[in-house]
Structure formats: structure tokens, C-alpha cells
């Protein structure tokens, strides 16, 4: 008996040692994937003047509105005049076109006509201020205040900050007499926040009609972040190579209308409520695959502590990690096709059973899921043929993922390492929508970068 106990104990010790060995092996044999690049000296920038120019741009209330697209016409025209005045050398070097009334397309002709062009995207418009929240702003949203080392206001980040960064760089280079080898397009849409159909889509159509095809496109997206993950002490520059898809489904439950004095078992509101509860209870599964898996593989070797062990051994710790991710919206969104119940309409009288109940559900799809697979998930989860499911116009599958082995990713990666030598570069998934997929079906595709941000092959 005592011998049997001893054998079990020895087995347990052996198992623990083997497990520890495997964990340590996986943790320390995954070498760094960071490119070795010599740091280049930073270009001198008059930060005060650049900040003042961006602050001025924030003062134009270029709020886009789906129903009234012309409401910000004057603000956009003022913004155009501001851009023209702020960047004279660039305007002398590049050709400007106005597309869809308010979008700007600049062509900076390259010296080598055979070299494939590239495009930089940003948008001029901003989202409105939620009514009643004006007093919650630490600085007024449209005053363009510079204080405490920051430029404050709506659009300072999304996306006038990008637009200005690009033009500040282009202006300095044009002033120094630089001419690009390949043609560079700058496309600044005016309605990104309301789908981009009049702006980015029109620009893409125009370029397609001219037979322009890009080597790559850089658009708003991810950024250089600090403290995104415990155990990673250095800032991380995430290059968005993938973007989520956008699917809205409208569900309609049909029932016989009637008087509330004799209600049947199946009512429209009852059926719809049950269906929606099912959808919230049976959300699409969390998954670590594709770009997100590659991001962890790239970050893990740069980390220290227990989190490095976890990320290096997802075969064992995946459930633990997913449980942590599920606790917050932003992290959960990177590993799951999200389900959001956004609109519910039914009934208008307290003693009448309505003939239908309508609900709108918005899904953000991780790459790998499609409009068809999500619709099928909804159909089988609600399992009720008296509820119809209709797609919203403008739904999109996740756009194609840019391979990290591509020369354009590698070039952007190297450039970030040269300019910011202490930064870890990794691929990332953009969880919000940009102008990029709006133009997906066109031969000239715009797609998904902030300071370093998002890149997509054409």
C-alpha cells in the first residue's frame, strides 16, 4: 500500500516536472520576431506650429450627417482653405481634385511611372456630440484648445490628427525638394462616419476608371499603445492587417393581432423577446486564430512574467485567457463576432396585441465569419420560422487579411522600428470600421493606419 502511494506521488511529481519543462520550453524557445533595424535620426518638427495647425482644423465643425449630407458644407470648405494655406509646398508639388463635392484627392506624381502607386487615407468628418454631454468635455469639443501637452477636441485623434500628420510630413518633404519615386495618392473622404459612400467610394470609383491600382493603402486604425497587456513593458505598435466585418440583421416576428383580453400563447413580442434572449445567451464562440493568434505569438517573446508563460502556451491556457478577455468589451471584441441588440419596435396601444415585433441586431465579424455564417447562426439559434431575418443594406464580410510576410507589411514594420527603436511591432485586428472596406468591391480598393496603423494589400 505504501509502495503504491509512493508510486502515485512519483508519477505526480514527474507529471508536474514534465509540464513545467514543456511550459518553460515553449516560453523560452519562442525567440523575438522583431526586425533588427538601425535607428534613423528624427526629422526636425516645429511641434508648436504643427499643433496650432491641427487645433485650427478641429475648430471646423465638419460633422457628417447621413440624412443631411450638406449640413457641414461650409465647415468642409473652410477646412479645405485651411489645408491649402497650411501646406503650400505640398500644394505646389501635388495635384488636387475635389470629388463628391467635398472629398479631397491629391496626386503626388512619382518619378518612376512603372512603380506601383500607394495611397494614404484619412477622413475630414467627425461624429456629432451626443446631446446633453457638452458639459462633460474637459475642454470644449470644437475650440481646438492646446493645454497640458495635448491638443483637445473632436477629431484631434479621429481623424484630423492623421490627416494633418500626413500633410505635415509631405509638406516638409516637398519643401526640401523631395519627389517620390512612385506616385502617392492622398485621399481624404468627408463622410467616413456615415458610411463613406459619397467620399471614399467615389474616389475609389474615379481611380478605378483611370485604371489605378495600388501596391498598398494605409488608413486610420490602430496605434502605438502603452500598457495594453500586462507583462509587456515596451510600447506596442500594432499594424492593422485585418478588420472586422459589419452585419446588421432585422428580425421580424409575425403573429395574429388581437385584443389583449384573450391573448394567444404565441405573441409577437413574446416570440421576439425569447429569440433575442437566445441570441444573447448563445453568442458566437470566442476564438484565437489568424491575426490575433499571430499578434500573441509576436508579443509573447517580448514579455516577462506569468503572462509570457500564458501567451507562449495557449494549448493549455487558452480557456483561462478567453475567460479574462470576456470580462471587458474591447478585449472580447478581438476574439469574437459580437452580438449587439440595438433596436426594438412593437406595439402602440396597451390593450392591443401587435401583429409584429421588429428587432435590429448588429454583428461585428472576426475574419473567418461571413454574412452567410452569421445569418445561419441566427436562424438556428432562434429556431422559429415565424421570425423572418433580413439583411441591412451595406453589410460587409470582413475584408481580406494582409499577409505579414508581404513586402509592404515588412516595409512599414521596418520603418516603425527605424523611427521608434524601442517599440515592439505586431500585427493587429481593427475592431471598428473604416473607409477601407466601403470600397471593397471596386477594383481600386481602399483599405485599412494611424501613426503606424493599418495596411492592406490590394
> Which residue in the block uniquely carries the three cell numbers 434572449?
277
By three-state DSSP, how is residue 135 classified? helix
Stretch that binds Zn ion, among 138-146, 155-163, 225-233, 304-312 (CB under 5 A): 155-163
Tell me if residue 320 falls in helix, strand or coil: helix
Task: Return all residues near 186 (Cβ < 8 A) that are at least 6 apart.
Answer: 94, 104, 105, 106, 108, 119, 120, 121, 122, 166, 167, 170
Shortest spacing between CB 194 and Zn ion, in angstroms: 11
Q: Which of 441, 436, 95, 418 is nearest to 241 (CA)?
A: 436
| Region of residue 307 (left: phi > 0; alpha: psi -120 to 50; beta: else) | alpha
- Helix (H, G, I), strand (E, B), or coil: what is residue 346? strand
Shortest gap between Cβ of 15 and Zn ion (angstroms)?
Answer: 51
| 177 Rama sector, left if φ>0, alpha if ψ -120 to 50, beta otherwise | left
Q: How far is the CB of 420 from Zn ion (least distance, A)?
A: 22
**R_g over Cα of the chain:** 26
How many CB atoms within 10 Å of residue 10? 10
Q: Which helix (H) or strand (E) covers residue 377, if one does?
A: helix 371-382
Closer of 158 and 302 to Zn ion (Cβ) = 158
Whether 174 contacts 107, CB under 8 Å: no
Instruction: Kindly state the smallest distance separating residue 54's Cβ from Zn ion, in Å.
Output: 15
Would you say 122 or 321 has its CB closer to Zn ion?
122
Size of the site for Zn ion (CB under 5 A): 3
C-alpha cell at 359: 428587432
- From 26-34, 98-106, 216-224, 293-301, give the range in contact with Zn ion by CB under 5 A: 216-224
Nearer to Zn ion, 158 or 294 (CB): 158
Is residue 243 involved in binding Zn ion (CB under 5 A)? no
- CB 388, min distance to Zn ion, A: 34
CA 269 to chain centre: 35
Stretch that binds Zn ion, among 150-158, 230-238, 351-359, 367-375 (CB under 5 A): 150-158
- Per the listing, cell 518638427 goes with 45
Give Cα 44 distance to the centre of its chain.
30
Candidate residues 144, 146, 155, 158; the one interacting with Zn ion per rule CB under 5 A: 158
Q: Which one among 56, 159, 168, 369 touches Zn ion, defined by CB under 5 A? A: 159
Q: Near Zn ion by CB under 5 A, which window of 8-16, 128-136, 159-167, 303-311?
A: 159-167
Q: Which stretch binds Zn ion (CB under 5 A): 32-40, 83-91, 153-161, 246-254?
A: 153-161
> Of the ranges 151-159, 243-251, 313-321, 336-344, which one interacts with Zn ion (CB under 5 A)?
151-159
From the CB of residue 162, how many other CB atoms can be counted at a distance below 10 Å? 25
Shortest reach from residue 155's CB to Zn ion, in Å: 9
Here the cell at position 263 is: 391573448
Q: Work out how close the CB of 232 gets to Zn ion at its nearest, in angstroms, rounded to a whole number.
A: 26
Within 298-400, strands assigned E span 338-346, 352-353, 356-365, 387-391
Minimum gap (Å) between residue 157 Cβ and Zn ion:
9
> How many CB atoms are located within 10 Å of the residue 307 CB?
18
Report the residue number, 238 or 279, with the smaller CB distance to Zn ion: 238
CA dihedral 132, 138, 144, 150 (to 10 degrees): -150
Active site residues: 125, 192
Q: Determine the Cα–Cα distance for residues 170 and 108; give it in Å rounded to an integer.
A: 9
Question: Cα–Cα distance between 210 and 205 in angstroms, integer?
Answer: 9
Q: Cβ(297)–Cβ(26) under 8 Å?
A: no
Q: Are 325 and 331 spatial neighbours (Cβ–Cβ below 8 Å)? A: yes
* Alpha carbon distance 79, 49 (integer Å): 17
Residues from 327 through 366 that contact Zn ion (CB under 5 A): none
Residues that bind Zn ion (CB under 5 A): 158-159, 220
Amino acid at each position: 500500500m505504501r509502495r503504491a502511494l509512493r508510486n502515485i506521488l512519483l508519477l505526480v511529481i514527474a507529471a508536474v516536472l514534465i509540464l513545467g519543462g514543456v511550459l518553460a520550453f515553449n516560453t523560452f524557445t519562442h525567440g523575438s520576431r522583431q526586425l533588427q533595424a538601425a535607428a534613423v535620426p528624427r526629422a526636425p518638427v516645429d511641434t508648436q506650429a504643427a499643433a496650432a495647425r491641427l487645433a485650427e482644423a478641429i475648430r471646423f465643425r465638419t460633422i457628417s450627417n447621413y440624412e443631411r449630407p450638406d449640413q457641414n458644407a461650409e465647415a468642409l470648405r473652410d477646412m479645405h482653405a485651411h489645408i491649402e494655406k497650411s501646406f503650400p509646398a505640398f500644394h505646389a508639388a501635388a495635384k488636387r481634385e475635389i470629388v463628391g463635392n467635398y472629398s479631397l484627392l491629391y496626386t503626388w506624381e512619382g518619378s518612376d511611372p512603372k512603380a506601383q502607386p500607394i495611397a494614404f487615407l484619412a477622413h475630414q468628418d467627425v461624429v456629432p456630440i451626443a446631446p446633453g454631454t457638452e458639459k462633460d468635455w474637459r475642454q470644449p469639443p470644437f475650440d481646438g484648445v492646446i493645454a497640458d501637452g495635448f491638443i483637445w477636441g473632436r477629431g484631434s485623434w479621429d481623424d484630423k490628427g492623421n490627416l494633418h500628420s500626413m500633410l505635415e510630413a509631405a509638406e516638409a518633404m516637398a519643401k526640401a525638394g523631395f519627389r517620390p519615386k512612385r506616385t502617392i495618392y492622398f485621399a481624404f473622404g468627408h463622410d467616413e462616419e456615415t458610411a463613406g459612400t459619397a467620399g471614399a467610394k467615389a474616389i475609389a470609383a474615379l481611380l478605378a476608371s483611370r485604371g489605378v491600382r495600388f501596391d498598398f493603402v494605409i488608413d486610420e486604425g490602430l496605434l502605438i499603445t502603452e500598457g495594453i497587456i500586462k507583462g509587456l513593458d515596451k510600447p506596442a505598435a500594432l499594424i492593422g492587417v485585418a478588420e472586422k466585418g459589419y452585419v446588421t440583421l432585422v428580425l421580424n416576428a409575425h403573429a395574429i393581432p388581437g385584443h389583449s383580453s384573450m391573448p394567444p400563447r404565441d405573441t409577437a413580442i413574446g416570440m421576439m423577446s425569447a429569440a433575442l434572449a437566445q441570441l444573447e445567451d448563445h453568442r458566437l464562440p470566442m476564438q484565437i486564430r489568424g491575426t490575433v493568434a499571430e499578434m500573441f505569438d509576436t508579443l509573447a517573446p517580448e514579455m516577462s512574467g506569468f503572462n509570457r508563460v500564458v501567451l507562449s502556451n495557449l494549448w493549455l491556457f487558452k480557456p483561462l485567457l478567453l475567460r479574462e478577455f470576456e470580462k471587458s468589451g474591447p478585449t472580447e471584441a478581438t476574439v469574437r463576432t459580437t452580438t449587439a441588440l440595438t433596436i426594438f419596435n412593437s406595439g402602440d396601444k396597451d390593450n392591443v396585441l401587435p401583429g409584429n415585433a421588429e428587432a435590429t441586431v448588429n454583428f461585428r465579424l472576426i475574419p473567418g465569419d461571413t454574412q452567410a455564417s452569421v445569418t445561419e447562426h441566427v436562424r438556428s439559434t432562434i429556431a422559429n420560422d415565424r421570425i423572418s431575418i433580413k439583411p441591412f443594406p451595406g453589410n460587409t464580410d470582413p475584408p481580406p487579411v494582409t499577409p505579414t510576410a508581404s513586402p509592404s507589411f515588412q516595409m512599414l514594420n521596418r520603418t516603425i522600428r527605424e523611427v521608434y527603436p524601442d517599440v515592439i511591432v505586431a500585427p493587429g485586428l481593427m475592431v471598428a470600421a473604416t473607409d477601407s472596406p466601403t470600397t471593397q468591391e471596386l477594383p481600386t480598393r481602399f483599405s485599412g493606419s494611424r501613426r503606424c496603423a493599418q495596411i492592406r494589400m490590394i
